[in-house]
Each structure stands twice: as C-alpha cells, then as structure tokens.
C-alpha cells in the first residue's frame, strides 16, 4: 500500500499572485524564494512568454506542516459554490461565547484583508459556532 507524503491544494483563479498573497496573510504562509538566478519573482516572470506570465503562483507553510497552496489562472470566473473549501481553524478547543469572540476577531482581521463574511452560524445542540467567509475572489472558506 502506497502512502501519500504531501498534499497540495490548488485554486483556479483570475489573479494567482494576488490570491496567494491574500492566503499568506490569512494563514501565516510565505512565498517561496524566486528560482535560482532571479532576484525576484517579477524578474523570473518577465522571462516567460506573454501567455505564461502571471499564470501561477504558490505559497507554503514556513513550518512545513500545512499543505502547499498553488494558484493557477483560468479563463473562466467562479460561478458556483466550491466543492472543496479550506477551514481556518481559529477556534480550536474553544466553546460558547469565548469561541465566538475569537472567530469574530479573526473575521474582522480577514475582512480588513478583503475577505467577505457570508454568514455567521451560531452554536446549537450539535455544533459550535463557525463563520462562512469568501476570499478576495469569492471562494468560500470557514472560520471554525
């Protein structure tokens, strides 16, 4: 039986670098160093054919724990709800009002980066509170 060693999450998007930098801020991720021989990603990007420029970007967990995120430009826009989404685990181990306060504070931080709150789902008999958000290109994700 083969075991998976790493996972990468890929986003189809309109502006890969912009979306990657948003997620760096959300998750504390970093942009990898530019390829050898290039001082910056812009320097590298300018060596590509025009149709390949700004076509993709990536970011990764500086601690090597979380998956690499890869962003690729596609011609079509987002038209339906995501089939897969990220959950940003901001309230792990917290319950009730304490959890909701932490989630609301994270919501405010992410809204300042351009995220949009879709809805707040308050705790009930089965689930703790969570907040459904959209990133800067409208992709849904949760604060939980």
Q: What is the domain partition of the chain in residue ranges? A: 8-73, 86-143
Rounded distance between C-alpha atoms, residue 18 and residue 35, angstroms: 19
pLDDT at 2: 76
pLDDT at 140: 96
At which residue do the structure tokens 């949009």 appear? 116
pLDDT at 80: 87
- For 66-83, what is the mean pLDDT? 91
pLDDT at 6: 83
Rounded distance between C-alpha atoms, residue 107 and residue 118, angstroms: 11
């Amino acid at each position: 039986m083969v075991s998976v060693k790493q996972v990468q999450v890929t986003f189809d998007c309109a502006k890969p670098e912009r979306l990657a930098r948003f997620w760096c801020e959300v998750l504390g991720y970093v942009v990898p160093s530019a390829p050898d021989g290039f001082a910056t990603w812009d320097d590298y990007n300018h060596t590509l054919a025009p149709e390949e420029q700004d076509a993709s970007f990536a970011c990764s967990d500086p601690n090597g724990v979380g998956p690499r995120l890869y962003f690729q430009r596609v011609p079509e826009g987002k038209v339906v709800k995501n089939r897969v989404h990220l959950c940003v685990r901001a309230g792990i181990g917290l319950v009730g009002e304490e959890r909701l306060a932490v989630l609301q504070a994270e919501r405010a931080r992410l809204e300042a980066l351009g995220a949009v709150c879709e809805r707040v789902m308050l705790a009930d008999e089965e689930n703790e509170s969570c907040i459904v958000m959209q990133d800067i290109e409208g992709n849904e994700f949760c604060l939980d």
